[in-house]
Amino acid sequence: MNKVINTENAPKAIGPYSQAILSGNGMLFISGQIPVNPKTGKIVEGSISEQTEQVLKNTEAILKEAGYTFKDVVKTTCLLNSMDDFTAMNTIYAKYYNEMLPARAAYAVEKLPMGVLIEIETIAYKAN
């Protein structure tokens, strides 16, 4: 059975979706996180580094709520406003993923929600 994961320590969904879904087989699917500060509901202004940091803090809060850590992440997809930001994003990303490195894809897209520079979706797995 699937379970909705929701925490006040990550931004509320801005549409008809859940922050994350935990499937009965131990797979955790985290919706794309953007750099919104959950306390203020506002986008973190600044560079790709600052926005990536907030995205990963949001992801961490959802992982924690589900009983997971970054070590349980098996796949991420990074959506960037510009591939020119890839190196700076990667530097911050490496602070969070430094032991068990997940599979990853990174794409430049035409436009992200609310004009942000980055969005990251995450899949984690933990055996039941």
Work out the number of other CB atoms within 10 angstroms of the CB of residue 15: 6
Arithmetic mean of pLDDT over the chain = 96
pLDDT of residue 94: 97
CA 63 to the chain's CA centroid = 9
Residues 6+ apart with CB under 8 A from 16: none
Asked if residue 128 has pLDDT above 80, the reply is: no
- Please state, in angstroms and rounded to a whole number, the distance separating the CA atoms of residues 89 and 128: 33
pLDDT of residue 119: 98
Q: How many residues does the chain have?
A: 128
Q: pLDDT-based confidence at 127, cuts 50/70/90?
A: confident
Q: In percent, how much of the chain has pLDDT > 90?
A: 91
In single-letter form, the type of residue at position 61 comes to A
CA 83 to the chain's CA centroid = 18
Predicted TM-score of the model (pTM): 0.95
Q: What is the pLDDT of residues 53-99, one digit of tens each?
A: 999 999 999 999 999 999 999 999 999 999 999 999 999 999 999 98
pLDDT of residue 24: 87
Please state the domain extents for the chain. 3-125
When the candidates are 3.40.109.10, 3.40.50.970, 3.30.1330.40, 2.30.30.280, the CATH number that belongs to 3-125 is 3.30.1330.40
71, two tokens: 């070590």
- Please state, in angstroms and rounded to a whole number, the distance separating the CA atoms of residues 116 and 80: 9
